[in-house]
Amino acid sequence: MRDAAQVPDHGMEWMSADGPNADIVLSTRVRLARNLKDFPFGLRSGESERDAVLEMTRAAADQSTALGDGTAIPMSSLPATSRRLLLERHLVSSELAGEEGGDPPRAAALLLAAEESLGVMVNEEDHLRLQSLVSGFRLREAWLKVDRLDEELSTRLRYAFHPEFGFLTSCPTNVGTGLRASVLMHLPGLVLTQEIGRVLQGINQVGLTFRGLYGEGSEVVGNFFQISNQTTLGKGEEELIDHLQKIVQQVILYEQQARSILLRDATAVIED
């Protein structure tokens, strides 16, 4: 991997709006939370331990097919405006960008593939957050990409894994598969027809949750909603992906129906 002290030009392929149902689903993301065995997790990690996690992960990434020719971006080398740009591109979380405390965490870095929105956030809440981000509604494709990266890295890194509970994470809701799949949806039809509350309530009842434009802790703006699985323990990766796939397909149908009603009965409401 090559080092970069500025924001690279790549990593924005998910914004191309050329995927399935791209008029409603802006992007699909799948993340895997992983921690390294024999290292304290999250806030319990000391400076030397966080440095070691970054060094080991960087070495593993250098040998991987997916990341070997990519870019390593230490967060501490970037000014706040550049870190904010990475956040707005959905390539890093607010925690990794230092949005919440002013400075990024010690030894925080983004390892980004050369030609697609695939990479690893290092030393965020967990040691590693592997993620794949694609345009439109392509859950299975995003999952397969990040799963292949996970398989590659696991041959060179020893993950913290329990035979009964699965992958161990800082947050209990991520224990198990460590998988968090989400779709970023634009739902103005449901908002304008005042059906969004009923839809979001139904989502919560089937084990999913919603967040704002920038994920956990962010507000809903511009009628953009991130819909994702809520827990990972006790379910397999394919089961989680299939469940989210079915629910999102239903939400897409509801939004299409709402837009049709607005076009038929309330054109003045939707005119610019």
How many domains would you assign to the chain? 1
As a whole number, mean pLDDT of residues 87-94 equals: 88
In terms of residue numbers, what domain contains 227?
Answer: 14-270
As a whole number, mean pLDDT of residues 218-232 equals: 82
CATH number of the domain residue 259 falls in: 3.30.590.10
Q: Above pLDDT 90, what percent of the chain? A: 62
* The total number of residues written for the chain in this structure: 272
- Residue 173's pLDDT is what? 86
Residue 5 in domain: no
Give residue 256's Cα distance to chain centre.
25
CA distances from 164 to 93, 233, 234 (A): 29, 10, 10
Residue 266 in domain: yes
Integer Cα distance of 182 and 211 in angstroms = 10
In tens, the pLDDT along 181-199 reads 999 999 999 999 999 999 9
CB 154 within 8 A of CB 160: no
In tens, the pLDDT along 197-220 reads 999 999 999 989 988 766 565 567
Q: Above pLDDT 70, what percent of the chain? A: 91
As a whole number, mean pLDDT of residues 89-105 equals: 83
Residue 2 in domain: no
As a whole number, mean pLDDT of residues 142-148 equals: 95
Q: Which amino acid is at 226?
A: Q
Most confident listed range (32-36, 73-77, 92-96, 105-109): 32-36
Is residue 101 predicted with pLDDT exceeding 80? no
- Residue 130's pLDDT is what? 97
Residue 142 in domain: yes
Name 243's Cβ contacts closer than 8 Å, sequence gap at least 6. Answer: 206, 207, 208, 229, 235
- Residue 245's pLDDT is what? 96
Residue 91 in domain: yes
As a whole number, mean pLDDT of residues 43-51 equals: 90
Residue 7 in domain: no
- Residue 11's pLDDT is what? 60
Integer Cα distance of 95 and 86 in angstroms = 12
Residue with tokens 């024999």: 38
